Amino acid sequence: MNYPELIYSEKPLPAVMNRQILTDLRLDSAFTPAVCETMLQKPEKATIALRREMFSRLISDPEAPAKIKKLYSLLDEASGLYSSFTAADCEPAVCFIFVYLFIAVKRFSDYAMTFSDYGRLFSGFSQTFRRFSEDKRFPKSEEAALQLSEKLSAELEISFTVTGENATVSKTVEDGIADTLKKCATLLETESKEKDYSPVRTYAPIVNAVRTLSPELFSEAKKFTDEYRMMISGEIFKYLEQIGFIDGVLDFTVNAAKNGIPFSFPEISDNKVIYIKNLYDITLLQKDCRDIIPNDADFDEGEHFFYLTGANGGGKTTYLRAVGGAVLMFLAGMPVFCESGKIYIFSAVYTHFPMDERFEGTGRYLNEKNRIDKIMNSQDGNSLILLNETFSTTGEDKAAVQTKKLATELANSGNFGLYITHQHNAEEILPFLGVIVDESDSNRRTFKIEKKRLPPKSFAEDILEKYGLTKPALEQKFSDFL
């Protein structure tokens, strides 16, 4: 059976970005592994558009998150049975497990075909399983599977109930095997313990005994397996990761909304531009921060790469992470946590953040230089490049030379990006963004990003000026007491 992709327009996309960018942007601590892996894949316009349609419809349905979780759970249960089925080391085990596997796959199929209202991706997905569930062989095969499972559970007191890859003996039959063992343990004043067992190690002796005691039941199960086993393919379990991606995105979006963080689907731009209004660094939610300050992002081909300057603690890295995270989420077809926007489909995102580990054989400067060279050799002129204090650990003179050289390359590369630097004497090769105190906010120490080159002074002076605590202001205020 041909199973269409659920989160791709045609076929799965290759990973083209380094996992380190997720760590640098702190996205690997915010999102599930399934979401992170998908964010690293090659951006594709058709896939982005289809995912945006899917997520907009899912998010508009309050019941969708629970439905997605149930869909995943049904397939996960079937996956556990499939693992036991493929690991079984004797024919009776193969046949008996297949009965339960068949029922689990049918339950998943029946539920999967109810998702047709969630966009074109889910429409093709649900139609496939509708055809599967409505196959003319199913009424007879499903009835036979259910009858067999009842016989296995009730008559032979054995049940292949799987969690992960573990199976357990049924405890539901009074005076059955498990109940009898418990009574014996009580009479012998010995503690009895229930324990899951591995199908690979213990199915063979158990099921071979079942085969000997009830050869007609084994014969019936074997006939069923031989007739229908070709209807079940391991390919169906590719949906676990894809549904996991959807589930992770929905969970995070719902949680962000509960904390007052808005989301939108920025317009796909045919022109190279990043314009985002009221953009949030949602990774701050991981720090239990509930008062996240939004900022705007405004890049175009005229001003596509910026120096970002300001003192420590002013929000430079937060802003860089917000921009990088927003672009990655956009490229993955996910909701973006902002008020609105317009973004070009870049080919990749690159990051260069300081590393704290020791470097054997090379110094920190050479390590930074090698990493930058690797980025510049990989970029194609249509990437987003985010540099955080690159060359800040070397001497001031060498840092100035290397910063000028790198800034010149970036200015002429066509790539978009940000270059955080403490070098106030950086030459005017790139335009400047500066972090300033927001004068309109009288109650909080709020920093805003503006297209502005800051003078070589610390944020302490900005804060003192905002609150009237400079020496001239204090002298005037307390002149009567002096």
SS3 category, 311? coil
Angle at 335 between CA 36 and CA 75, to 5 degrees: 55
237, 79 in Cβ contact below 8 A?
yes
Identity at 198, one-letter amino acid code: S
pTM here is 0.82
Helix (H) or strand (E) holding 198: none
pLDDT at position 455, please? 61
DSSP 3: P
**pLDDT per 10-residue tile (average), the chain, 482 residues:** 91 95 95 96 97 97 96 95 87 87 92 96 94 73 82 56 44 54 71 48 60 81 90 93 98 92 96 96 76 88 91 81 97 97 97 69 75 94 94 77 91 95 76 74 61 61 54 69 57
Helix (H) or strand (E) holding 243: helix 239-258
pLDDT at position 426, please? 67
Bridge pairing between strands 432-437 and 447-450: antiparallel
pLDDT at position 207, please? 67
Q: Which of 401, 386, 389, 384 is nearest to 364 (CA)?
A: 389
SS3 category, 359? coil
pLDDT at position 205, please? 64
pLDDT at position 397, please? 80
Distance between CA atoms of 280 and 321, rounded to whole angstroms? Answer: 9
Distance between CA atoms of 26 and 20, rounded to whole angstroms? Answer: 10
pLDDT at position 160, please? 44
| All residues at 6 or more sequence positions from 376 whose CB lies less than 8 Å from its CB, including other chains | 409, 413
81, 97 in Cβ contact below 8 A?
yes
SS3 category, 394? coil
SS3 category, 163? strand
Q: Which of 23, 18, 24 is nearest to 383 (CA)?
A: 18
| All residues at 6 or more sequence positions from 300 whose CB lies less than 8 Å from its CB, including other chains | 271, 272, 273, 274, 275
Structure tokens at 72: 């995943």
Q: What is the CA radius of gyration of the chain?
A: 30
Distance between CA atoms of 278 and 295, rounded to whole angstroms? Answer: 5
CATH number for 262-481: choose from 1.10.1040.10, 3.40.50.1220, 3.40.50.300, 3.40.50.720: 3.40.50.300
Distance between CA atoms of 166 and 96, rounded to whole angstroms? Answer: 15
Q: Which of 227, 86, 82, 207 is nearest to 152 (CA)?
A: 207
**Partners of residue 417 on adjacent β-strands:** 305, 385
pLDDT at position 194, please? 57
Q: Which residue has the tokens 């964010």?
A: 39
Return the domain boundaries, the chain.
Answer: 44-241, 262-481
Distance between CA atoms of 89 and 474, rounded to whole angstroms? Answer: 85
Distance between CA atoms of 310 and 428, rounded to whole angstroms? Answer: 16
Distance between CA atoms of 399 and 426, rounded to whole angstroms? Answer: 10
| All residues at 6 or more sequence positions from 409 whose CB lies less than 8 Å from its CB, including other chains | 376
